[in-house]
Amino acid sequence: MTQNPSSNPPELRPDLAPQLQVQETPRAGQPTLGMVSLGCPKALVDSERILTRLRAEGYGISPDYTGADAVIVNTCGFLDSAKAESLDAIGEALKENGKVIVTGCLGAEPDYIREHHPRILAVTGPHQYEQVLDAVHAAVPPDPNPFVDLLPATGVQLTPRHFSYLKISEGCNHRCKFCIIPDMRGRLVSRPAHAVLREAEKLVTAGVRELLVISQDTSAYGMDRKHDLNPWKGDEVRSHITDLTRELGRLGNPKDLWIRLHYVYPYPFVRELIPLMADADTAVLPYLDIPFQHSHPDMLKRMARPAAGAKTLDEIAAWRATCPDITLRSTFIVGYPGETEAEFQHLLDWMDEAQLDRVGCFKYENVDGARSNALPDHVAEEVKQDRWERFMQKAQAISEAKLEAKVGQTMDVIIDDIDEDGIATCRTKADAPEIDGNLFIDEGTDGLKVGEIVTVEVDEAGEYDLWGKLG
């Protein structure tokens, strides 16, 4: 059996969304916009909302610059490297097209953008949909055809049609020293529970098989609304992550629908979610994406992380006791200012005990405006690199052992792609799109369709991926 290299190598940025996918052809004469969507899944949802509004006004959507009357670049400003990537994308769009509108997180720094690219038409900040529309109208006046330009009920999706991101809130109330997201996106603003559920229900009705719940802090959902009650199907539902997750899990049969939770901070009440994941009759997957960032209590204090005092190993043990099949994914930062070798070793030892299933890792870097920039004892670049390599070696060994233990097991997978050679790229319940591993089926795939959920028997394992045959 030929082992294709994993599409998810350890150096992959764990904050990135899948590549934008546009699956329509503009009609002749239709005013057309190109879209470049950078950054995280939350930014991809913003891009979908912008394009849905524009599509409703009669604009066509181009998957590239060719033939587009203007280009919208949805930027990322999370790290300095992401800022550089955004500036490069703006420059490329200016070169290839000439008419460029900038939005997104880096749009919160318009002077910085214009300093590098003075020719851009307009700059708006994150989730400023109306301002983006105004800029588009000024650059490319709408010309709708009411007999042709009918918006599908589901709006515009930039992810493959079988999965979709479901954003439940904007902003964040935390003040982690390495992060400037609250400065860019503001404080927590949760969507009403019934609005989230209505959107989810429409997506499921339209054929979406996997909903990925995202926000800046999923655990905090509804806190700003004081967990108010919302009308839903003749009853009421609280704006609370436990209640919302329970209702999402009832939207479909677990054989046909997957609900996956991302960005869940490890508050004590998270344990209330675990019984939902253990329930075989709910669509909620036994998958928890929790950004621990580090293990050493002094490091967490220097980061100003929420729940810094939580006994995370005890929590992990409690989650696994309730739901033995739970998959735990997390991200970590190595080389944070002041990190000592002893503190880093504490993290490696913690990893041995925690045995997380999926792990991403950043090397710390300064971000303009972050409070961590002013901390003393910054770590040398070569030390950061050495720690990152040692950390990833540890994570890879854990992943390899866990995957090897799955050989011989039967499990459900969702099909993401089938290539011209008939090799199907799939994901198990333990794998989120882009950031986790894959399962490959390389024979007997005739008749299978992208988006199907099928049963396979695992017959081979690698460092990050699995191979299997249809059961």
Q: How far is CA 15 from CA 78, 82, 359, in A?
A: 9, 10, 12
| CA separation for the pair 402, 471 (Å, rounded) | 21
Q: Kindly provide the residue ranges of all beta strands, DSSP E only, lying in 315-433, ordered along the sequence.
A: 327-334, 358-363, 410-418, 424-428
The reply to whether 323 sits in an annotated binding site is no
CA angle centred on 383, ends 379 and 387, rounded to 5°: 110
| CA separation for the pair 330, 212 (Å, rounded) | 16
Cβ atoms of 1 and 28 closer than 8 Å: no
| CA separation for the pair 11, 325 (Å, rounded) | 26
The reply to whether 361 sits in an annotated binding site is no
For 49, the enclosing helix (H) or strand (E) is helix 41-56
Phi, psi of 236 (to 5 degrees): -130, 150
* Residues whose CB is less than 8 angstroms from the CB of residue 234 and which lie 6 or more positions away in sequence, other chains included: none
What is the separation, in whole angstroms, between the first and last Cα of the chain? Answer: 17
The reply to whether 172 sits in an annotated binding site is yes
Could you tell me which of 279, 339, 350 has the C-alpha nearest to residue 315?
Answer: 350
| CA separation for the pair 182, 169 (Å, rounded) | 13
Cβ atoms of 217 and 173 closer than 8 Å: yes
Find the farthest-apart pair of alpha carbons in the chain and give their distance in angstroms, rounded. Answer: 68
Residue 150 CA neighbour count, 13 Å, CB half? 4
Amino acid in position 239:
S
The reply to whether 426 sits in an annotated binding site is no
Known binding positions for [4Fe-4S] cluster? 40, 76, 105, 172, 176, 179
Q: Which residues are annotated as a binding site?
A: 40, 76, 105, 172, 176, 179
